Structure 1
């Protein structure tokens, strides 16, 4: 059996496992095996095919989780986070990771094991900045700061422990400032790009009108020249 046939079988197997709702480590191992190829072009094509498929399936599956338990929802979200990480879809991976953390935070009041730590929010913020999702990184920094209430620190920590925690807070704030500045810069850049696009479009429109006018003027001059030439010929013939 050729390697292409083997890959096709693995893709078919992975698809069937997803469609039969097998969200476990075995399914992820199949996904990893599909992506083992030395051909860069084939790898890029495979990633694109698998990304589109997993995105469609994840949307369909998550929509049907309304009445599911929190534990089941978290298992599904974690599975797709890992699947998107394997195929290199950072955007989808971070989006679902944020959903996972937010869901845990929402239900952590009655279930301490679901509590989201400062470190988890901070790590997520770092990954979001690395992938240029600055707005969501800033939000994650705010969540991280909420996990570190200063009033409790002042009551329960000694001077050394308090100093360490204040250092942590400053680190989060610095990361938030970076995310804020870059998000603002990204917005300005987007506005600049849109402005330039409008200017180019306007310039192209004006250029087209100028070209048309030049063509029209040239055409009129050409026709007038032909008329004058024919008139002179006619006058010469009349004199003869």
Structure 2
């Protein structure tokens, strides 16, 4: 099933970034078999990642509008297969591209509300450092007095969005710092555990010769006792032999 999906998925390589291509992509993910669905989703995700890199490199000389259309296609495609990381990465690239080119093309300007939605999605998916960076970009491009659209409603909307972005930036910074402390704590515990294991190994290596020496000492002591016992037996045998010879001499003299 997965190989079949990949073979059909090769059609995605065609330069057709349209809704029909997304519908075709979605058809690959329709399966009643959970195992097959997981395999196909994984295969299609890897295919999209590979193709997105290749395509984005190939359109470096295209217009901003064309680049944004391709980025939007892959954002929707990654969202379809559930690859939130790639989806957010390309969304962020598109937002930054728009802001960079907005000095020349005002219609590309990213509104505070768009930045806010991205920050919320990044935080909800656990990408705290990305959310923090997006907040910084949003606040650097838009100040409290920067009104993108005329009218009191737009002014209030922008101010509220900027205020919320500021709040979320503080939250993201706290989460990033907390994560950093957690990582440092985990690294410290791993290091201490490793040191304790090495210390225990060293202790065992030091104890091994001592225990061996103790056992060897017992063996030597037992050997000495054995030799002493054997020597005593020999002496007794010699004494018994001497006494026998002496008795024979006395008996001969008496006769």
TM-score range, shorter chain: 0.7 to 0.9
Equivalenced residue count is 231
Does residue 221 (structure 1) correspond to residue 214 (structure 2)? The answer is yes
5 Å-filtered alignment, 1:1-240, equals 4=1, 8-14=3-9, 16-146=10-140, 148-152=142-146, 165-240=158-233
Q: TM-score by structure 2 length?
A: 0.79
- Aligned partners of 1:121 and 1:141 also within 8 Å: yes
Give the Cα–Cα distance (whole angstroms) in 1 for the partners of residues 124 and 35 of structure 2: 25
- Aligned partners of 1:134 and 1:183 also within 8 Å: yes
C-alpha spacing 1:208/1:53, structure 2 compared with 1 (3 Å): farther
Give the Cα–Cα distance (whole angstroms) in 2 for the partners of residues 56 and 105 of structure 1: 26
| SS state at 1:150 partner | coil
User: What are the ranges of 5 or more consecutive residues in structure 2 without an aligned counterpart?
Assistant: 234-255
C-alpha spacing 1:223/1:62, structure 2 compared with 1 (3 Å): farther
Larger radius of gyration: 2
C-alpha spacing 1:129/1:234, structure 2 compared with 1 (3 Å): same
**By how many angstroms is 1:101 displaced?**
0.9
- Aligned partners of 1:74 and 1:100 also within 8 Å: yes
Q: TM-score by structure 1 length?
A: 0.83
Give the Cα–Cα distance (whole angstroms) in 2 for the partners of residues 163 and 106 of structure 1: 25
**By how many angstroms is 1:192 displaced?**
1.4
| SS state at 1:22 partner | coil
- Aligned partners of 1:118 and 1:147 also within 8 Å: no
**By how many angstroms is 1:108 displaced?**
2.0
C-alpha spacing 1:215/1:52, structure 2 compared with 1 (3 Å): farther
